[in-house]
Amino acid sequence: MSGHFTSHGFRRGFLEGIGLLPGMVAFGAVFGVVAGQIGISVLGAATMSTFVFAGTAQLLALHSWGAPDLVIAVVVAVVAMNARYILFGAAIQPWMRGVSPWIAYSSLFFLVDPNWAVAMRERDEGRHDVAVFVGMGLACMVGWVAGSIVGAGFGQLLGDTRRLGLDFFLPAFFLSLACGFWKGREDILPLVVGGFVAVIFERFVGGSWHVLAGGLAGSLVAAFRPKGTAAA
């Protein structure tokens, strides 16, 4: 089945993304608060969040603001952190096959972890409406930009957003998606290997290399495990 783009799919993805708004607003508020502390205006923070739309990469960029000696270190960290999107793009390409290139490539501007996971769920369930991916991505952007504006404008009044527990929305979302991805015992080995490698890298390497390392390790185990094991 080839990919397509419908208004119904867009609406469904956007409404599903609404559930993530509290977490995205809280995350965006953290960025806005930090941006405001180093002198970035509300308009500047909102513009950066709209055109960059890169979450933790934006937070890292703030660490080198006005400090040229940190630029190289920050660039390396950002590349490492976002290297996972190479894997995401490779995984989502077959799912998007069939839609026009301008829709497929422009849709990737909205690529974030939550809507990529939803796209993989849609693929596994035999649905290929790319608009679901875009709708959820836009909802995430709305929350991120709104949070950036609130954080930059009223950061001193918000305090620590973690005390409200809003930082748990995204982890809870991914946990629920992971449960939906479960297909049987054949998933245990890639899951264990990927998790183990991620923990080792997080403990001894640091940065965001654990995300890429864990994803690669789990993917390689799933790709090259004996077919008889998967069948069993």
**pLDDT, tens only, 110-135:** 999 889 989 999 998 889 999 999 99
**Residue 75 confidence (pLDDT):** 76
- How far is residue 51's CA from residue 132's CA, in Å, rounded to a whole number? 21
State whether 27 and 139 are in the same domain: yes
Chain centroid to CA 116: 7
pTM comes to 0.70
State whether 121 and 187 are in the same domain: no
State whether 71 and 135 are in the same domain: yes
**Residue 214 confidence (pLDDT):** 82
State whether 227 and 216 are in the same domain: yes
In three-state form (DSSP H/G/I as H, E/B as E, the rest C), the secondary structure along 109-146 is HHCCHHHHHHHHHHHHCCCCEHHHHHHHHHHHHHHHHH
State whether 64 and 125 are in the same domain: yes
Averaged over successive runs of 10 residues, the pLDDT of the chain (232 residues) comes to: 87 92 86 84 93 83 71 71 83 90 92 90 90 95 94 73 57 61 78 89 76 80 68 42
Number of domains in the chain: 2
- Structure tokens, 5: 């783009």
Q: Which domain holds residue 197?
A: 183-232
State whether 87 and 194 are in the same domain: no
**Residue 231 confidence (pLDDT):** 43
**Residue 164 confidence (pLDDT):** 58
Phi, psi of 162 (to 5 degrees): -70, -25
Q: Which of 145, 133, 159 is nearest to 27 (CA)?
A: 145
- How far is residue 3's CA from residue 99's CA, in Å, rounded to a whole number? 5
State whether 47 and 63 are in the same domain: yes
- How far is residue 70's CA from residue 52's CA, in Å, rounded to a whole number? 20
| Domain finish residue from 138, 160, 181 | 181
State whether 115 and 215 are in the same domain: no
How many CA atoms does the CB half-sphere of 188 hold within 13 Å?
5
**Residue 154 confidence (pLDDT):** 84
**Per the domain annotation, does 2 fall within a domain?**
no
| Domain finish residue from 143, 161, 181 | 181
State whether 100 and 121 are in the same domain: yes
State whether 141 and 223 are in the same domain: no
CB 99 within 8 A of CB 3: yes
Q: Which of 88, 96, 89, 85 is nearest to 122 (CA)?
A: 96
